[in-house]
A and B are shown apart, each in its own frame.
Chain A
Amino acid sequence: MSSKSLKYLTEPLSNSNPIIVQILGICSALAVTVQLKPAIVMGLSVMVVTAFANLVMSLLRNGVPSRIRIIVQLVVIATLVILVDQILKAYVYDVSKQLSVYVGLIITNCIVMGRVEAFALGNHPWASFLDGIGNGAGYASILIIIAFFRELFGAGSLLGFRVIPESWYIDNGGVYANCGLMLFPPMALILVGCIIWVHRSFNKDLQEK
């Protein structure tokens, strides 16, 4: 893989990360990060949708009438999202129940539409596909970081396995209690803010003057 293709993959992970640099897709990042497992599945779903939406739109880019291109993009994205939703329902039913409406809402996720409009319409299919994977991975990585902290401090477990021993809890005579705020979306927003802070302090060129 050439260094240029590699850049399509790695750039969205940090320097142009959709969530913490472009501030896109915040809504679902707040909603599905209470636990790690749905966050991972959501991240993968978005990755699949961005990658294939980019690929399909890039293949179609020379034939799409420019006047209806947004509608065509929506149809392509919506089709992919419905397919993902159907597959999740058929094969990972419990996760699909937890994600509920948020899978359907990938359609309105700004990242997917943004990458199709800004990248896929002007680039070759392979580059577009990689760009989709990269942006999906950038989105997923932030979701996983947020979900890690929210599940650990909100429920004392990771991926459903208990990390903080039961005996530490006040109920069982210990001194520890779960942080209830972690379970609510506002805390996810605060966490996003913290991640942006840490990220920018390491990337000076991203800091606004």
Chain B
Amino acid sequence: MATKKFVCKICGYVHEGETAPATCPLCGAPASQFEEIKPKGLLGGKDSNAYIILYSVVMVVLVAVLLAVASMSLQKRQYENALNEKKQQIVTALGENPEQVKYGDVIAESALIDKEGNIIADKSEEDVFEAMKNLKGSIAEGVYPIFRTADGSVVVPVYGAGLWDAIWGYVALAPDMNTVKGVVFDHKGETPGLGAEIATPKHQAKYVGKTIYDGEQLVGITLKKGGAKESDSTFAHEVDAITGGTKTSDGVTAMLQTCLNNYKPYFDAVRNAAAASEEALSNALNTENNEQ
């Protein structure tokens, strides 16, 4: 059996044995001045390894539980916020005020289309917004979200790279799949006052009425350095670039070019169908005229 330890309160002498010594061999203090040194508890004090490990484990578990609960209870709200923002931007792209017009009032249907421009069957609105959540990944996979209004206008999301980080937005096209009804751009970290100007209504208003097709070629919209000039033959596909934000402007140009071209098969199909029905209509009219 281990012996007990006693320390003299006067001089600090430590005696080992079953009981305290009658007098202290160093300073001569009586036994009453001796105090037993109790062995430390199971964990052996605040600075022992066992205590530190136990402390860390308990702390980490507590924190993990706390954060998990917070994250789960707020997740729904956060997701709704993100979703709501997307819907508002879609409404804004169509030139409506999102505070007055709800997403559900203008968008009649949402769909995913593939590289050939065919609508992928059996996709609910939730699936579309799921694809929107990771737009970059969806585009890489060849799945493109599209939103259609009752009158045949469409809104397509675009995604690209600005000067510093990602830029994205929505382009609304009139039923002719050529005229821009409106655009909305947003960015992660473009320079405030320069590149970040792409997110301002002032810049975005310039796109309204521009056309993305030059003949059969889908050219998108170019942000022209030095300003778009009416005398140029390409004026219909150009807007002013951002002063001092050339790289961001180039990024927007490239984004519109690539992303809109993803939808080209679909746009072409709609345009051809429209042309065909027009032709059929005029043919019918002609026949009628001939008969008369």
Same assembly: yes
Q: Which residues on the A side are within 8 Å of B74 (C-beta)?
A: 86-87, 89-90
The answer to whether B124 has its CB under 8 Å from any CB of chain A is no
B51, A65: Cβ atoms under 8 Å? yes
Known: A75-B59, A75-B60. A93 touches B81 (CB 8 A): yes
Q: Tell me the complex Cα distance, A87–B82, Å.
A: 14
- The prevalent SS among residues of A at the interface is helix
Residue among B52, B71, B85, B191 with max Cβ neighbours from chain A (10 Å): B52
Least CB separation from A183: chain B residue: B193
Q: Tell me the complex Cα distance, A72–B56, Å.
A: 8
Name B67's contact: one of A67, A71, A79 (CB within 8 Å): A79
The answer to whether B46 has its CB under 8 Å from any CB of chain A is yes
A90, B71: Cβ atoms under 8 Å? no
Q: Tell me the complex Cα distance, A178–B192, Å.
A: 13
A79, B63: Cβ atoms under 8 Å? yes
Interchain nearest-CB distance for B121 vs A (Å): 34
A66, B67: Cβ atoms under 8 Å? no
B52, A67: Cβ atoms under 8 Å? yes
Q: Which residues on the A side are within 8 Å of B85 (C-beta)?
A: 93
Within 8 A of B (CB), among A79-113: 79, 82-83, 86-87, 89-91, 93, 100
- The prevalent SS among residues of B at the interface is helix
B60, A82: Cβ atoms under 8 Å? no
Q: Tell me the complex Cα distance, A79–B70, Å.
A: 11
Least CB separation from A64: chain B residue: B55
Residue among A64, A66, A86 with max Cβ neighbours from chain B (10 Å): A86
The answer to whether A165 has its CB under 8 Å from any CB of chain B is no
Q: Which residues on the A side are within 8 Å of B51 (C-beta)?
A: 65
Number of contacts between A and B (CB, 8 Å)? 58
Name B78's contact: one of A65, A86, A178, A183 (CB within 8 Å): A86
Q: Tell me the complex Cα distance, A87–B46, Å.
A: 35
The answer to whether B26 has its CB under 8 Å from any CB of chain A is no
Known: A65-B47, A180-B193, A183-B193. A83 touches B70 (CB 8 A): yes
Q: Which residues on the A side are within 8 Å of B55 (C-beta)?
A: 63-65, 68, 72
The answer to whether A154 has its CB under 8 Å from any CB of chain B is yes
The answer to whether B188 has its CB under 8 Å from any CB of chain A is yes
The answer to whether B77 has its CB under 8 Å from any CB of chain A is yes
Interchain nearest-CB distance for B60 vs A (Å): 7
B193, A86: Cβ atoms under 8 Å? no
Q: Which residues on the A side are within 8 Å of B81 (C-beta)?
A: 89-90, 93
Known: A65-B52, A86-B71, A91-B77. A154 touches B193 (CB 8 A): yes
Q: Which residues on the A side are within 8 Å of B140 (C-beta)?
A: none
Q: Tell me the complex Cα distance, A161–B72, Å.
A: 36
Within 8 A of A (CB), among B161-215: 188-189, 191-193
Q: Tell me the complex Cα distance, A85–B33, Å.
A: 58
Q: Which residues on the B side are within 8 Å of A66 (C-beta)?
A: 46-47
The answer to whether B1 has its CB under 8 Å from any CB of chain A is no
The answer to whether A120 has its CB under 8 Å from any CB of chain B is no
The answer to whether A34 has its CB under 8 Å from any CB of chain B is yes
Digitize A19-47: 1 where CB-to-B-CB distance is under 8 Å, 0 elsewhere. 00000000000000010000000000000
Q: Which residues on the B side are within 8 Å of A89 (C-beta)?
A: 74, 78, 81
The answer to whether B2 has its CB under 8 Å from any CB of chain A is no
The answer to whether B150 has its CB under 8 Å from any CB of chain A is no
Q: Which residues on the A side are within 8 Å of B71 (C-beta)?
A: 86
Within 8 A of B (CB), among A135-157: 154
Q: Tell me the complex Cα distance, A189–B99, Å.
A: 38
A72, B59: Cβ atoms under 8 Å? yes
Contacts A68-B52, A90-B77 given; 16 further ones with Cβ under 8 A? A67-B52, A68-B56, A71-B56, A72-B55, A75-B63, A79-B67, A82-B67, A83-B70, A86-B70, A89-B78, A90-B78, A91-B77, A93-B78, A93-B81, A178-B193, A183-B192
7 tightest CB-CB pairs across the interface, nearest first? A183-B193, A93-B81, A90-B77, A90-B74, A183-B192, A65-B52, A89-B78
User: Hey, which bits of chain A sit against chain B, CB under 8 A?
Assistant: 34, 63-68, 71-72, 75, 79, 82-83, 86-87, 89-91, 93, 100, 154, 178, 180, 183-184
